[in-house]
Chains A and B, each alone.
Chain A
Amino acid sequence: MAFKFKKNSVLPGFGMSLGLSLTYLSLIVLIPLSSLAFKTGADLTWSQFLSTITSPRVLASYRLTFLASAVAATINGIFGLLVAWVLVRYTFPGKKIIDAMVDLPFALPTAVAGITLTALYSKNGWIGRFLADAGIEVAYTPLGIIVALTFIGLPFVVRTLQPVLQDFDPQLEEAAASLGATRLKTFTAVIFPNLLPALLTGFALAFARALGEYGSVVFIAGNMPMKTEIASLLIYTKLEQYEYAEATAIALVMLVFSFIMLFLINGLQAWNARRQS
């Protein structure tokens, strides 16, 4: 059979809807995004590109961004599992409101989250005050960056785990229990392995979001080059100083990592869907 672009259908509007969608997609997303690659290619030679992205200040910002994002995503993995478990399995007063509240970091603009967390964790803030007594400084240190990234990544793990926990077949647990397994053994040997694909997906989503985060971090980070300067902020600073070539080089590396994460997440979600069915 000859190759056919589209299967026959009685419904109208295919050409118009696809044509309009592709035009709009190209104008708003594809052409602007490709300008990044054009600009890097036009303004920088390969060796200039390499020396930009391997300069100590840029490397330090990459390291900080990746480490802080990984720590924040791990915290979200642990507490996200706990929150999802409690919300699905147990009953307690106010559960519905708390469930709805989990999405607050999605709905609250990042700048508001940024100034609020800074006010809370600075030395005379509600929480920072007690931590300062214990000798821990959060605001304007890498710890502050982790706090901000934990906040914005919070819903991802909870929201990917909830449906999986909801649909979990109780017979598996019953079988384990009737074969004499303790509750802990049932969790580690039966429940946890089944949750793992969703848990990893949530972790990857939180990590990917943290890599590019800007608004919630800039206020609490202190933004000291080499110490508390994340990659997004470094790109921003370079743009403000009209060093477009350097900014594009740094951004291109981050964009490549974002796309690798997107690819990974798609793979994880496919694995997750297979485990579910």
Chain B
Amino acid sequence: MADASLYTITRASKIKSVASLEPRWVRFLLTLSALLFLVFFLLIPLIAVFYQALKAGFGPYFGALKDPDAWAAIRLTLFTAAIAVTANLIFGVFAAWAISKFEFFGKNFLITLIDLPFAVSPVISGMIFVLLFGLQGLLGPYLAEHDIQIIFAVPGIVLATLFVTFPFVARELIPLMQAQGSEEEEAAIVLGAGGLRTFFRITLPNIKWGLIYGVILCNARAMGEFGAVSVVSGHIRGLTNTIPLHVEILYNDSNIVGAFAVASILAFLALVTLVIKTAVEGQVRGEISDRAKKGALS
């Protein structure tokens, strides 16, 4: 039996190498054109960011980074991203628990609603908060009376960022926890563990890589969001500028080196995100198959 299956595997792979491969020159041409496309659209832009930033040497580069307005932008971006990631992480875990562990009416509709912010254009994502909280907005008169400022201030930036990064953690966790099933949690509860203990001892270790994956993507978007934040920010230097908005201001001032110096922080962040994402991806796949294997054994 084992010999027969081994035989078919080697046979299949032999046939594959003969029948399903293109002639050498076709393979070469296809690979070359794919790589050329990627060089022009990915590699050259990536190199260009760092080249433009360091064009005038390290002095002007670090000068642009040490500027107090740049520091204020970096602080605001870190503050906003910290809130957005924390809030959406908590929401993501709760939503994924409700959706993956229980069968209830309207579940698929709820999943569609969670994905909704991905379908909304960035400018519209910012604009809806202006329509709610702006001076001419639905709640505008009330807020003005009580001297509360949301639009053109930090709360607006946080809200817009919360909106655009809303689905990231939830949409990573929902399919992962659905694929893992809930037998282990049920066993823990039946054996007398409490709900919190079950979550921290059983669920969390099983989903930790998926969680990290969602957080990484959520954080990258939170720090890099431009359109939505631009609408609600008002572009007040030192007060309501995030890093991407600071890049825009420097660029529009024709301070090209400064703009690219600050942009290089974001490009570096993108590279770090890609490295972590690639490293974590394999672990997430492992989380799905490990649990499936355990299920098959029991």
Contacts and interface: CB of A to CB of B under 8 A. Distances in A.
B30 A127 contact: no
Interface string B38-58: 101111111011001000000
A11 B185 contact: yes
Contacts of B127: 36, 235, 239, 247-248, 251
B148 interface: no
A201 to B, nearest CB: 14
Contact of B244 (A90, A106, A112): A112
Interface stretch (B11-19, B62-70, B204-212, B287-295): B11-19
Interface in A104-118: 104-113, 115-117
B227 A6 contact: no
18 contacts: A6-B103, A6-B104, A11-B102, A20-B94, A24-B91, A29-B113, A29-B163, A92-B31, A107-B273, A107-B277, A109-B225, A120-B44, A174-B15, A177-B20, A213-B122, A242-B136, A255-B120, A258-B120
Interface residues of A, number: 93
Given A104-B46, A104-B274, A126-B44, A214 B122 contact: yes
A203 interface: no
Interface of A: 3, 5-7, 9-14, 16-18, 20-22, 24-25, 28-33, 35-36, 38-39, 79, 82-83, 85-87, 89-90, 92, 98, 100-113, 115-117, 119-120, 126-127, 150-151, 154, 170-171, 173-174, 177-178, 183, 208, 211-215, 219, 232-233, 235-236, 239, 242, 244, 247-248, 251, 254-255, 258-259, 261-262, 266
A90 B31 contact: yes
A112 B263 contact: yes
Contact of A212 (B19, B120, B190): B120
B31 A109 contact: no
Contacts of A100: 274-275, 277-278
Contacts of B31: 86, 90, 92
Contacts of A258: 119-121
A170 B121 CA distance: 40
Interface string B96-125: 011001111100001011111101111110
A170 B244 CA distance: 47
B124 A83 contact: no
A39 B124 CA distance: 13
A107 B220 contact: yes
B120 A33 contact: yes
B270 interface: yes
B86 interface: no
Contacts of A85: 30, 34
B267 interface: yes
B105 A110 contact: no
A18 B20 contact: no
B214 interface: no
A101 B15 contact: no
Contacts of A170: 12, 15-16, 20
A247 B134 CA distance: 14
B31 to A, nearest CB: 5
Given A21-B98, A39-B131, A83 B104 contact: no
Given A174-B16, A215-B244, A247-B127, 11 more contacts: A6-B105, A7-B103, A11-B189, A17-B98, A18-B104, A101-B38, A101-B42, A102-B38, A107-B273, A126-B48, A232-B122
Contacts of A255: 120-121, 124
Nearest to B264: A112
B231 A239 contact: yes
A33 B260 CA distance: 34
Contact of A119 (B48, B132, B244): B48
B179 interface: no
Contacts of A261: 119
B72 interface: no
Given A28-B166, A39-B131, A117-B45, A232 B244 contact: no
Given A11-B102, A239-B130, A98 B38 contact: yes
